[in-house]
Structure 1
Amino acid sequence: MERTTMHELEKWKASRYRKPLIVNGIRQVGKTWLLKEFGRRHYTSTAYFNFEEQPEFREFFATTKDPSRILQNLMMASGQTITPETTLIIFDEIQECPDALTALKYFAEQAPEYHIACAGSLLGVALAKPSSFPVGKVDFLEMYPMSFSEFLLACGDENLAAYLESLDAVEPLPAAFFNPLYEKLKMYFICGGLPEIVLAWAEDQNVDEVQKRLANIITAYERDFAKHMSPKDYPKATLIWNSVPSQLAKENKKFIYRVVKEGARAREYEDALQWLCDAKLLVRVYRNSTPRLPTAAYDDISAFKLYLADVGLLRRLAQLDPSVFREGNRLFSEFKGSLSENYVLEALTPQFDAGLRYWAMDHPDYEVDFLLQRKNDVIPIEVKSEGNVEGRSLKKFKEKYGDAVKIRVRFSLANLKLDGDVLNIPLFLADSTDKLIGIALQELYGDEH
């Protein structure tokens, strides 16, 4: 299966400023497979070391920080050959060997001719801990679940993926493309983007197998809670994790601790919640008070929404049966359209550096699902999952902030269209949001955008 992240690895290899690389992402997102495939395609050889399966290798990093001695010991113990420039060295499950993380500094300073890439489960948690970390001496690459475009390629729909890639104008899509893309997106909502699940569907088209494997992955995540968290936080993390579908099913999706447990307070649950976010399993989207730059400066950290890292995981955790696939638009609108919102969040996150926020007003109630910072523009985004695409909150946002709002974006099941300053993007085109906004801004304001 092709991953767009492969292109980022190729740029890393070619960079004159290359440092040891840390690939971060949730468990089962395909980090190890990608690095091994990268080594197979672009290097003469690959030397692979797994600190969880081979704990004896950790000792080599505890006794010395000299790269030459470390590599010599690794080669002698493993029987693998390592040569500068032509061997990709993979340190997997590196969170199990903190000394190896520290050693990356010395590889960057003393042995830059060696190409080192690291991955690990719950690496975000390990990196969040105060320890001797090689600040400024490593490169980072964030790896996300497979996008809808990657899902199409994996399922043999290269023609549809190529069509999406070729779009260069904001104009309605022909039914010959719109209708099959709409149906394929339903299946993406069922499966999500974890490679094991996508492969299971692509090979056998067996929904029962998809259900079973998603359940197994969720169980593995929950075992990680027990294995890696403190005993006091483990039950709290489990309660938070299981509460996400019900939090998103509310009319107001703001995270409320008492939904987790009656009488729960933020200070009691914050550590468990932060662990889940550091593990990349949950994504926290803060409420933003005003659409100014930088958006992070106007966050209300007491108000936020929580989403899962993958739409398939959310559907499975919510116990939404795949049979909903056959019931018109219900898959997109179920529990207040939260699957659609989760999907849009996933699609937008890799495209833009600044994280997404949301905007809300009280008395009367208005809420814009997401705020997106693109270059020097703050763009309001609304996600509609039913036939009605009228957006009172999007309209209110424009009334309140006027000319500061250059464009508004609505994701829906309607066709691609620029209606005044409202850009309607079909949900299945979310991977192309940055490009489509650029085209629309140029059409509205000219070349400067």
Structure 2
Amino acid sequence: MKRNAIADMINWKKDAERKPLVLKGARQVGKTWLMKEFGKNYYKSFVYFNFDEEDTLKSIFEINKNPHRIIEMLSMIVGEKILPEETLVIFDEIQECPEALNTLKYFKEKANEYHIIAAGSLLGTLLAKPKSYPVGMVNLLDIYPLTFDEFLEASDPVLFCYYDSIQKEQQIEEIFHNRLLEAYNNYLIIGGMPECVDSWIKYKDPARVHQIQRELIEVYESDFSKHNGKVNSGRILMVFRSIVSQLAKPNEKFMYGAVREGGRARDFEEAIEWLVSAGMINRVYNVSKMEHPLSAFDKLDQFKLFIFDTGLLKHMAGIDNGAILLKTDYQFKGPLTENYVLQQLRGQFEIEPRYYSNKNSEIDFVLQNSMEIIPVEIKGGEDKSAPSFKRYIADAQPKHALRFSKRGYRKDGAITNIPLYLARKVKDLI
């Protein structure tokens, strides 16, 4: 599989101001594979150290703070000389050795000629506590599940070539439109977890994918129960399990009382922060005004929570594959489609998407592109009725207004209709 993150890693390697690189993201999104693939293809050699598997490694970092001495000892362990610029040094599951995480600052200060890359499970929850890692001394790179373009390139390289060539305002032939919609439907079912995509490519068996998704959910829930920090693990689990029912409500807004009767913000806000930091959920804030800069208008007590992978959300919601493939309307179609679009939008714009909602109207997502504010309407099918959206366009007359749906790529008056399969290309298309 090709991953878009490799391009970011190549840029990191070339950067003269490079710092040790830390990959963060949920478990099983492909961090270990990425680091090894990068070492194999872009360095003369790489050395791999896993702090979860090799307990004795920890003692090296507990005793030493001198990065040159550490490199000497690591060279002896692997039986080969670690060379500056030429050998990539990989630290995996680094959260198991806080001393190693802390040592990264000494590499930045005293031995930056060595190329160091690190990753770990639930690292985001550690990084959220500034004392536990070297602030300002590392580069951070977020790793997500495969986006639709990565999924398409892995599963149908010929169709991907066509998809990749699509330009702004291009007419998309019906045969390709239908094939890309079919790939989009498959992505809703399979999602972007590397193991699920790999299984789908090898076996084309949805039952296998379903089994992997079930096991992944079990792994994550088991991680919550193992978590023994100050955030109550039971509350983390309750929030995670409530997301499907939260999104099934008419306004989708997260309600603490829907997690547990009488629930309050103080009971669950730390659990939410933990899940966001761990990369398990995406939080979208409501804004009081659709104006630049968007983040100045965040209503911090009003937000929606989405799952970081659409395939896992589809599994958690118990949606039958037939409902997606047979063009039927089903109860959870809107939230699942929004989850998908959000997953594709992440990282495309400097500012994360928001939404707008008041007593009279609702705009599904609001994007900020430089100083421009872009309203976004999301439809799971071909329907195009959206009174709030049209009213806002008539009043504010934005330069761009986007509707994602299963309709073709075209302008409908002031609205640009973008097929759902092009959500990953939206920045290029505007």
Which TM bucket (shorter chain)? over 0.9
Deviation at 1:228, TM superposition (A): 1.5
Partner of 1:173: 172
Deviation at 1:109, TM superposition (A): 1.3
Query: Quick check: 1:91–1:118 contact (8 Å CA) kept in 2?
Result: yes
Query: Quick check: 1:102–1:134 contact (8 Å CA) kept in 2?
Result: yes
Deviation at 1:324, TM superposition (A): 2.4
Secondary structure at the residue paired with 1:49?
strand
Q: Cα deviation per residue 1:275-318 (whole Å; 9 max; x = unaligned)? A: 11111101110100112222111100010000000000101111
Q: Cα deviation per residue 1:114-144 (whole Å; 9 max; x = unaligned)? A: 0001111111011012425322221111111
Task: Identify the match of residue 368 of structure 2 among 361, 365, 373.
Answer: 373
Deviation at 1:80, TM superposition (A): 4.3
Q: TM-score of the superposition, structure 1-length normalised?
A: 0.93
Partner of 2:320: 321
Task: Identify the match of residue 407 of structure 1 among 400, 414, 427.
Answer: 400
Q: Give 2:391's aligned amino acid.
A: K
Q: Cα deviation per residue 1:351-381 (whole Å; 9 max; x = unaligned)? A: 112111100121x3x1111111111111111
Query: Quick check: 1:249–1:336 contact (8 Å CA) kept in 2?
Result: no
Query: Quick check: 2:126–2:132 contact (8 Å CA) kept in 1?
Result: no
Percent identical across equivalent pairs? 43
Partner of 1:24: 24
Secondary structure at the residue paired with 2:169?
coil
Q: Cα deviation per residue 1:6-45 (whole Å; 9 max; x = unaligned)? A: 1111111111121110111111100100110110011111
Q: Give 1:260's aligned amino acid.
A: V
Q: Cα deviation per residue 1:394-448 (whole Å; 9 max; x = unaligned)? A: 1222244x24x221111001110123331110000111100111xxxxxxxxxxx
Cα distance in 2, alignment partners of residues 130 and 164 from structure 1 = 42
Secondary structure at the residue paired with 2:368?
strand
Q: Cα deviation per residue 1:70-118 (whole Å; 9 max; x = unaligned)? A: 1112222343431111100001111111111211111011111100011
Query: Quick check: 1:329–1:385 contact (8 Å CA) kept in 2?
Result: no
Is 1:359 the counterpart of 2:356? The answer is yes
TM-align CA RMSD: 1.5
Q: TM-score of the superposition, structure 2-length normalised?
A: 0.97
Cα distance in 2, alignment partners of residues 167 and 154 from structure 1 = 18
Is 1:119 the counterpart of 2:119? The answer is yes
Deviation at 1:334, TM superposition (A): 4.1
Is 1:423 the counterpart of 2:416? The answer is yes
Partner of 1:97: 97
Instruction: Write out aligned runs for 1:341-356 (5 A).
Output: 341-356=338-353
Q: Give 1:278's aligned amino acid.
A: S
Partner of 1:445: none
Query: Quick check: 1:250–1:336 contact (8 Å CA) kept in 2?
Result: no
Q: Cα deviation per residue 1:49-84 (whole Å; 9 max; x = unaligned)? A: 111111221121121211011111222234343111
Query: Which sits farther off after the overlay, 6-15 or 209-218?
Result: 6-15
Query: Quick check: 1:253–1:305 contact (8 Å CA) kept in 2?
Result: yes
Query: Quick check: 1:417–1:425 contact (8 Å CA) kept in 2?
Result: yes
Instruction: Write out aligned runs for 1:3-402 (5 A).
Output: 3-155=3-155, 157-230=156-229, 233-330=232-329, 334-362=331-359, 364=360, 366-400=361-395, 402=396
Cα distance in 1, alignment partners of residues 80 and 260 from structure 2 = 52
Query: Which sits farther off after the overlay, 161-170 or 209-218?
Result: 161-170
Secondary structure at the residue paired with 1:141?
strand
Query: Which sits farther off after the overlay, 48-57 or 27-36?
Result: 48-57
* Structure 1: segments with no counterpart, 5+ residues: 438-449
Q: Give 1:337's aligned amino acid.
A: G
Cα distance in 2, alignment partners of residues 394 and 126 from structure 1 = 40
Secondary structure at the residue paired with 1:380?
strand
**Cα 1:321–1:229 shift into 2, 3 Å:** farther
Q: Give 2:392's aligned amino acid.
A: F
Q: Cα deviation per residue 1:177-235 (whole Å; 9 max; x = unaligned)? A: 00111111111000100100000000000111000000000100001101114486111
Cα distance in 1, alignment partners of residues 63 and 230 from structure 2 = 32
Cα distance in 2, alignment partners of residues 132 and 307 from structure 1 = 28
Q: Give 2:191's aligned amino acid.
A: G
Q: Aligned pair count?
A: 430
Cα distance in 2, alignment partners of residues 153 and 81 from structure 1 = 37
Cα distance in 2, alignment partners of residues 186 and 101 from structure 1 = 41
Partner of 1:440: none
Query: Quick check: 1:186–1:325 contact (8 Å CA) kept in 2?
Result: yes
Cα distance in 1, alignment partners of residues 340 and 377 from structure 2 = 13
Deviation at 1:336, TM superposition (A): 4.7
Query: Quick check: 1:329–1:386 contact (8 Å CA) kept in 2?
Result: no
Q: Give 1:421's aligned amino acid.
A: A
Cα distance in 2, alignment partners of residues 239 and 172 from structure 1 = 46
**Cα 1:316–1:53 shift into 2, 3 Å:** same
**Runs (4+) off by over 3 Å:** 229-232
